[in-house]
Amino acid sequence: MPSFDTVLEPNFVELRNAADQANKEIGTRFDFKGSDARVELADKGKDKTLTLFADSDFQLSQVQDVLMAKLTKRGVDARFLDLSVKPEKLGGDKLKLVLPVKAGIDSDTAKKIQQLVKQSKLKVQAAIQGDTVRITGTKKDDLQAAMALLRKDVTDVPLSFNNFRD
């Protein structure tokens, strides 16, 4: 039975490279001279976070812009970052913004994918397996139609497809 897995996994090597390049640019820019502006990638097992530090709101937005530019240049989709988080005050004017990196499909998105597949009237089935969704069908054409459907309708997260079995 042909199948494939729908996953949400960023390229962590490129993520680290983008953070390093952002730090390099921040270190050379004149508007960041003498400030504590930087980007750190914290790796706690499966949970990875990007932490942005700056001296003011304006500098924090500049650090975020530099990071987004580097992520885009390295081919990492910005939708992997949860940008709805608010910055925290550290002391004085210093700010810290912790951006969690999304990896693995959460249960709400998995249920949404499963509902989309059911409502599509394609001859495929979707099964939630941990943080992936496995889609199985009898024909490869149906699976490719399911991929196209998911690419079109699920736009809030950058889905990728792997483990294609024939």
Is a pLDDT exceeding 80 seen at residue 44? no
Counting residues of the chain whose pLDDT is more than 90, the rounded percentage is 56
Cα–Cα dist 62/66, whole Å: 6
Is the domain of 112 the same as that of 96?
A: no
Domain-terminating residue out of 84, 101, 118? 101
Residue 117 is part of a domain; what is its CATH number?
3.30.70.860
The model's pLDDT over 105-126, given as tens digits with 9 standing for 90+, comes to 988 999 999 999 998 888 999 9
What mean pLDDT do residues 51-60 have? 93
**Judgement on whether residues 95 and 112 belong to the same structural domain of the protein:** no
pLDDT of residue 45: 67
Position 9, amino acid? E
93/126 same-domain check: no
> Residue 18's pLDDT is what?
94
Domain span holding position 62: 12-101
Do 96 and 110 fall within a single domain? no
Q: For 123-154, write each residue's pLDDT tens digit.
A: 999 999 988 999 999 888 989 999 999 999 88
- Same domain (yes/no): 150, 110: yes
Single residue among 47, 74, 101 that ends a domain in this structure = 101
Asked whether residue 115 falls in the same domain as residue 148, the answer is yes
Same-domain check for residues 115 and 97:
no
Give residue for tokens 């996953």.
Answer: 7
Number of domains in the chain: 2
Which neighbouring-strand residues pair with 124? 137
How far CA 157 is from CA of 6, 25, 131, in Å, comes to: 11, 28, 13
Contact at 8 Å (CB) between 53 and 95? yes
Same domain as 120, residue 52: no
Q: Are residues 89 and 38 in the same domain?
A: yes
Q: Are residues 24 and 93 in the same domain?
A: yes
Q: Which of these three, 46, 80, 101, is where a domain ends? A: 101
> How would residue 163 be classed by pLDDT, with cut points 50, 70 and 90?
confident
pLDDT band of residue 23 (cuts 50, 70, 90) is: very high
Task: Fill in the amino acid letter for 144.
Answer: Q
Tell me: the pLDDT tens digits for 67-103?
A: 999 999 999 999 999 888 899 998 888 999 999 999 8
Query: Mean pLDDT for the chain?
Result: 90
Q: 108 and 79: one domain? A: no
List beta partners, residue 165: 3
Distances (CA, A) of 166 to 121, 134, 139: 21, 13, 9
Of 83, 88, 128, 119, residue with least CA distance to 101: 83
83 and 21 co-located in one domain = yes
